[in-house]
Amino acid sequence: MTAIWGILNVTPDSFSDGGRFMDPDTAIARARMLRAQGAAIIDVGGESTRPGASRVPVEEEQRRVLPVVEALSADGIPVSIDTLNAGTAAAAARAGARIVNDVSGGLADDGMLAAVAASDADFVIGHWRGPSGDMYARAQYGRAAREVANELRARVSAAASAGIAPSRLILDPGIGFAKAGEQNWEVLRGLDEIIALGHRVLVGTSRKRFLAEALGVDGSDAGGDAEHRRDLATAVTSVLAARAGAWAVRVHDVAATRDALAVVSAWDGE
């Protein structure tokens, strides 16, 4: 069955759950709950990458994430570190993180590929065309899925040149990053082009604005019924991604996606 990654944002300003898990004890309790609900990996992030987000000093990012990574790793919970910074990636790997999840695929920090290569961590290469502040200015595509696949292929080559074995790579099409509205759907409909690159594929649609747009709800509303509806939409897209061949999906609401995947498995007689 497709693996589920549970999102844990240790930030004050993430688009959906910013501020909820800033306290390390609260964050660790949340991670343990996500794990109990079926998360195979807990993806810990200390810097928001929502559209328009400001960068965070590396020291502050590490202050937020390292105690959480250390505690979860000590518990035997597999952890991914969601970061754009090579220094944070290296520190988190030393603290026990098994995966470095870089939404920029190593483009935001010239030292990232070398830092990952020097560690034992696997590496998620996200599709990215620039920082959060102006990412939509780069949302220009002819054939979105094909262009995303080609740009990911280039990052795979860069990772290989840096000494990261292909077996350590995971590809993320970067849903919501430098992609507006329909472009996200085009990439999802064309996931086969990304899966054909021959690496594990991670898909993260969770609570993103294009889902709110499809549902006709206010994408800026991060709570209440709107959030619940976006979690249901996330579960549906996660199931469709799994059917398309995704290795894993990254979500806020682990239980909803777990149940949706279990129903599909039963339907398929697995």
- Which burial class, exposed, middle or buried, applies to 185 when counting CB atoms under 10 A from its CB (0-12, 13-18, 19+)? middle
Is 250 catalytic? The answer is yes
**Which of 155, 179, 207, 208 is an active site residue?**
208
Report d(CA 105, CA 107) in Å as an integer.
Answer: 6
**Which of 64, 129, 209, 250 is an active site residue?**
250
What residues are paired with 170 via a beta bridge?
Answer: 124, 200
Is 155 catalytic? The answer is no
Give the residue numbers marked as catalytic: 208, 250
